[in-house]
Chains A and B, each alone.
Chain A
Amino acid sequence: MTTALAARRGHPTPARPFFRRRPSERLVFGVLGFAGVLILWEAVSRLELVRQAVLSRPTAIVSAAVTDATNGVIWPHIAISGTEYVLGFGAALAVGIPLGLAIGMFRRLNWLVDPWLSAIYATPTVAIVPLIIIVLGIGLETKIFVVFLEAIFVVTVSTMAGVHAADAVYHDVAESFRASGWTRFKTVILPASVPYILTGARLGTGRALVGVVIAEFLASNQGIGFYISFNGALLRSDRVYFGIILLGVLGVVLGEAMRVLERRFERWRPAIN
């Protein structure tokens, strides 16, 4: 509540007429920085300061991208990676959110799983990918499972933090009006958790993408990750960078989409940033 009011009184946006506004400094330097690095990259490559096989160059990457998009090479890889991503990340949400709510609400369960959460946090998921391959073989299941494993931790832990974030006074209000357990869950715990669940999901989008890449590097003959490693083995760095940029763009787009969703669901929460 305090934060809400402080933020509202905080920094009033100066009402400036739109048409007279100069392009913001942020935009100018952002564009300069972005373009500058691209030009530098192209120049370094053309002057042959670094080997082509390592660095490639922006123009080569663009032409590789155009080639593989028009001859249809890249699309099946995108489709496969997309399938893994959607199924693995969907499963992580479906399991992680209820699990996080339960761990957050029941203290004994929290005590029970606490050491496991620390252990899972500390164990690199990659390390058990070879075991997963032994058990599930090299196929879609393995990759979906790796994506699921990569994403579920942040989703669960964020959700759990959300349950704990409901200020005790809101529980007091519910108790004061003799709210039933279900009503309390519906009116206090769940709404207080929503922003945290969405944050967890946003972090999860990135992790899931890491899962896709790792799984496809280690156990696949399809997908964007495979496209990258396959072309890497052939020293075709333009295509490697095209794949990487594809992943990066996917990461940015998914992250931004989650951010938009986060804002939409937080109408009751004044903008803090």
Chain B
Amino acid sequence: MSIASRYPQPAVRSRRGGLSWIDRRGRLVYGTAGLVGFALLWEFGSRAGVINEFFFSRPTAIFQAGVNEVQLERFWRDVRVSLTEFLAGYGIAIAIGVPLGLLTGWYKRLNYALDPWLNFLNSLPRFALLPVIFIAFGLGIWSKIFVAFLGAWLAIMIPTIQGVRTVDRRFLDVAASFGASKARLFVTVVAPATVPFIITGLRLGVARALIGVITGELLAATEGLGFFIKRASDTLQTDRLLFAVLIFTFTGIILVEALRQIEKRFQRWRPPVRRGATA
């Protein structure tokens, strides 16, 4: 029996993933108050001259900059370019990362052989490869697609490998004892057990791909939202700069939240993890 606890706890989530009413209300009230309060402080601090408007702009100015930008053809072209790079890079990362992850998880020896390189690549700040990527793919969209791919690929592949490798042996034994073929074993046991891991990877990969796109565009590009930020910063237009940053923030929040919802759907059959017994 669990009775309302007075101790520090994560938001109490029920089986269906709903928050308790206290948490829902608290989050709404405090969260909104925090955001609105911050915006007001920023705005009036800036107007009163306490905050340097030249450096930090202010909410209404950023909003005004946004209104101006969305009417410009140039802005939409930047959005289109960044979106293309993101989708292509992320898509390729999924297309390569998931199957390769499944294979690597399934074949122990392949895993052993790739392990040193995966470990090395994963510990490496991969953006360090940018200079050679520019040499190889040029300054157009292909270099950004490759950077986005590089950012997301391992983030997707590594959880997938873990998913396959952590399939409970007992389930494999059950399937094997009923004479399941390898293919059936894979479809009925390994795949369902791995799906939540893959989706976790997809969620982690989204952020990495976005970071890849923007880093690539900041360093060497002639269009895209990262280049938009660079132009704004070169001309010291912090309102336009922050407007572009907010676009990334909202895109990130929406994509991550969407994948979190999908993750939750696929995890519904899992029992809630006992707190405290974390590996």
Interface residues of A (CB under 8 A from B): 1-3, 25-26, 28-30, 32-34, 36-37, 51, 53-55, 104-108, 111-116, 118-119, 121-131, 133-135, 161, 163-168, 170-171, 189, 192, 206, 209-210, 212-214, 217-218, 225, 228-229, 231-233, 235, 237, 240-241, 243-244, 247-248, 251-252, 254-255, 272-273
Contacts and interface: CB of A to CB of B under 8 A. Distances in A.
B179 interface: no
Given A123-B245, A164-B8, A244-B129, A33 B135 contact: no
Nearest to B28: A111
A231 B131 contact: yes
B63 interface: no
Contact of B113 (A32, A105, A135, A240): A32
B20 to A, nearest CB: 11
Contacts of B35: 115-116
A237 to B, nearest CB: 6
Nearest to A27: B112
A251 B34 contact: no
Contact of A112 (B30, B127, B136): B30
Given A3-B277, A25-B112, A272-B279, A122 B127 contact: no
Contacts of B214: 124, 126-127
B154 to A, nearest CB: 12
Contact of A126 (B2, B117, B132, B215): B215
8 residue pairs, one from A and one from B, having the closest CB atoms: A232-B131, A122-B252, A33-B113, A251-B123, A130-B233, A167-B276, A29-B112, A111-B30
A121 B275 contact: no
Given A111-B26, A229-B131, A116 B34 contact: yes
Interface residues of B, number: 73
A65 to B, nearest CB: 15
Contacts, number: 203
Q: Looking at B5, B29, B211, B256, which has the most chain A CB atoms within 10 Å of its CB?
A: B211
Given A114-B31, A124-B214, A29 B279 contact: no
B159 to A, nearest CB: 14
B85 to A, nearest CB: 14
Contacts of A34: 116-117
B45 to A, nearest CB: 15
Q: Looking at A104, A131, A135, which has the most chain B CB atoms within 10 Å of its CB?
A: A131
Contacts of A217: 127, 130, 219
B270 interface: no
A136 to B, nearest CB: 10
A133 B7 contact: no
Interface string B258-278: 000000000000000011111
Contact of B134 (A231, A232, A251): A232
Contacts of B70: none
A121 B215 contact: no
A212 B129 CA distance: 14
Given A111-B26, A112-B30, A247-B124, A124 B8 contact: no
19 contacts: A29-B113, A30-B112, A51-B135, A54-B132, A105-B8, A111-B26, A116-B34, A122-B251, A131-B233, A131-B241, A164-B10, A168-B5, A168-B275, A212-B125, A214-B125, A229-B131, A244-B124, A244-B128, A273-B279
A2 B218 contact: no
Contacts of B2: 168
Contact of B276 (A112, A165, A229): A165
A164 B9 contact: yes
Given A124-B214, A164-B10, A135 B55 contact: yes
